[in-house]
Amino acid sequence: MSGIARTRLMNEHKAFRKDHKVGFYGSPEKREDGTSDLFKWICGIPGPIGSIWEGGSYRLIMEFTEDYPSKPPKCKFTPTLPHPNIYPSGTVCLSILNEDKDWRPSLSVKTILEGIQDLLVHPNISDPAQRAAFDTYRDNYEEYERTARLFASQNPPP
């Protein structure tokens, strides 16, 4: 049974190399011996053009279990992002990444990354994961924007 996740991830890797949106990247982490870890992907999400996140490329680690795609991967920005729905640990809080909410096995690395990119410009303030970013977003948007733009400039594409 454990072959399901592996086969699926191999196929997703092949598909991602052929088709992904501009500025996105994602591939299984390379180990020192040259082999790769299919269950841990190093990904990048570009800041949407025209948004306060534009110009940055945000590195994200995706960790899968043998239960994928029945269960979603854990997605974690490294470093974390100053955004209301990103935990201080970097973990992304998003309904499509929650198996009890909107996760569906038909989602893929490609569509997850696109969903997280959308979250950057559409925070959900009814379910904050990070106090500091949530407070500035709500009480001082100018400061929130300044922080985001600074963060974007500090995280250029690789």
Partner 1 sequence: MTDTATDKTVHLNVKVRSATGEEVYFKIKKNTALKKLMDAYCTRENLIPASVRFMFDGNRLKPTDTPEKLDMEDGDMIDASVEQTGGY
Residue 20 engages partner 1 in binding (rule: CB under 8 A): yes
- Which single residue is written with the structure tokens 């979250």? 119
For the CB of residue 71, give the shortest distance to partner 1 in the complex, in Å.
Answer: 24
**Residue 76 DSSP code:** E
CA distance 19 to 98: 25
Residue 38 engages partner 1 in binding (rule: CB under 8 A): no
Specify whether the CB–CB gap between 137 and 84 falls below 8 A: yes
- 3-state secondary structure (DSSP) of residue 1: coil
Residue 48 engages partner 1 in binding (rule: CB under 8 A): no
CA distance 116 to 93: 9
| Active-site annotation holds for 75 | no
- Which single residue is written with the structure tokens 């680690």? 61
For the CB of residue 19, give the shortest distance to partner 1 in the complex, in Å.
Answer: 7
Residue 56 engages partner 1 in binding (rule: CB under 8 A): no
Among 1, 3, 22, 142, binds partner 1 (CB under 8 A): 22
Catalytic residue among 38, 42, 86, 93: 93
Specify whether the CB–CB gap between 156 and 44 falls below 8 A: no
For the CB of residue 8, give the shortest distance to partner 1 in the complex, in Å.
Answer: 18
Specify whether the CB–CB gap between 76 and 60 falls below 8 A: yes
Radius of gyration of the chain (CA): 16
For the CB of residue 51, give the shortest distance to partner 1 in the complex, in Å.
Answer: 16
Residue 14 engages partner 1 in binding (rule: CB under 8 A): yes
Considering the complex, state which of residue 56 and residue 123 has its C-beta at the smaller distance from partner 1.
56
Binding residues (CB under 8 A) for partner 1: these are 14, 17-20, 22-23, 25-27, 42, 44, 153, 156-158
Active site residues: 93
